[in-house]
Amino acid sequence: MVAKCLEDLFFDQLQIAFSSENQLLVALADMALAVSSNDLKASLELHLEETKGQIERLHDVCNLIGCNPYSQRCEAMEALVEEAEEAIDMVADAEVRDTAVMIAAAKIEHFEIALYTSLCMLARQLGLNEAADILNDSLEEETRTDLKLMILAERQVHVQMAGF
pLDDT of residue 90: 87
The number of CA neighbours under 13 Å toward the Cβ of 53 is 15
Is 60 a domain residue?
yes
In a domain, 16, yes or no: yes
The reply to whether 104 falls in a domain is yes
1 within a domain of the structure (yes/no): no
- Is there a domain that residue 82 lies in? yes
- Give the CATH number of the domain where residue 155 resides: 1.20.1260.10
Predicted local confidence at residue 66, as pLDDT: 93
Q: Report yes or no on 46 lying in a domain.
A: yes
What is the pTM (predicted TM-score) of this model?
A: 0.90
In the 3-class helix/strand/coil scheme, how is 77-144 assigned residue by residue?
A: HHHHHHHHHHHHHHCCCHHHHHHHHHHHHHHHHHHHHHHHHHHHHHHHHCCCHHHHHHHHHHHHHHHH
pLDDT band at 161 (very low <50, low <70, confident <90, very high): low
- Distance in angstroms (rounded) separating the CA atoms of residues 6 and 28: 32
Is 10 inside any structural domain? yes
Render pLDDT for 43-86 as a digit per residue (tens, 0 to 9): 999 999 999 999 999 999 999 999 999 888 999 999 999 999 99
| Domain with 129 in it | 6-162
Number of separate domains in the chain: 1
Which pLDDT value is given to residue 72? 86
| Rounded CA separation 37/151 (Å) | 13
